Amino acid sequence: MTSPFSERVKVPETDLEVTITLENGELTIALNKSDARIYRVRIEQAMMPIEHAWLSDLFMHDHRVRLSEFASDLQDYVESLDLSQG
């Protein structure tokens, strides 16, 4: 087992930061915008060998996140809160 690893990368001239962590065989990649986490991917068993890895791009997961939709969902949620309930 490898020792825990963590690294942060700030994207120059933006409010974006990527954090990469490997601990107990699990790889976590997190994206922060303005110091708030907006996206996280966890890969379990990240250190496991893969047979036929040369074919992996055929099965690769590719996710697109539209920040405008994320912001809209967040705004809708905040507007739905009944702050008078405490």
- CA 4 to chain CA centroid, Å, is 18
User: Is 58 inside any structural domain?
Assistant: yes
Average pLDDT of the chain to the nearest whole number: 92
Query: Is residue 86 predicted with pLDDT exceeding 80?
Result: no
Task: Bin 30: left if φ > 0, else alpha if -120 < ψ < 50, else beta.
Answer: beta
User: Is 86 inside any structural domain?
Assistant: no
Query: Is residue 83 predicted with pLDDT exceeding 70?
Result: yes
pLDDT value of position 82: 79
Domain count, the chain: 1
User: Is 62 inside any structural domain?
Assistant: yes
pLDDT in tens, 37-60: 999 999 999 999 999 988 988 999
**What is the pTM (predicted TM-score) of this model?**
0.79
- Domain of residue 14, residue span: 5-81
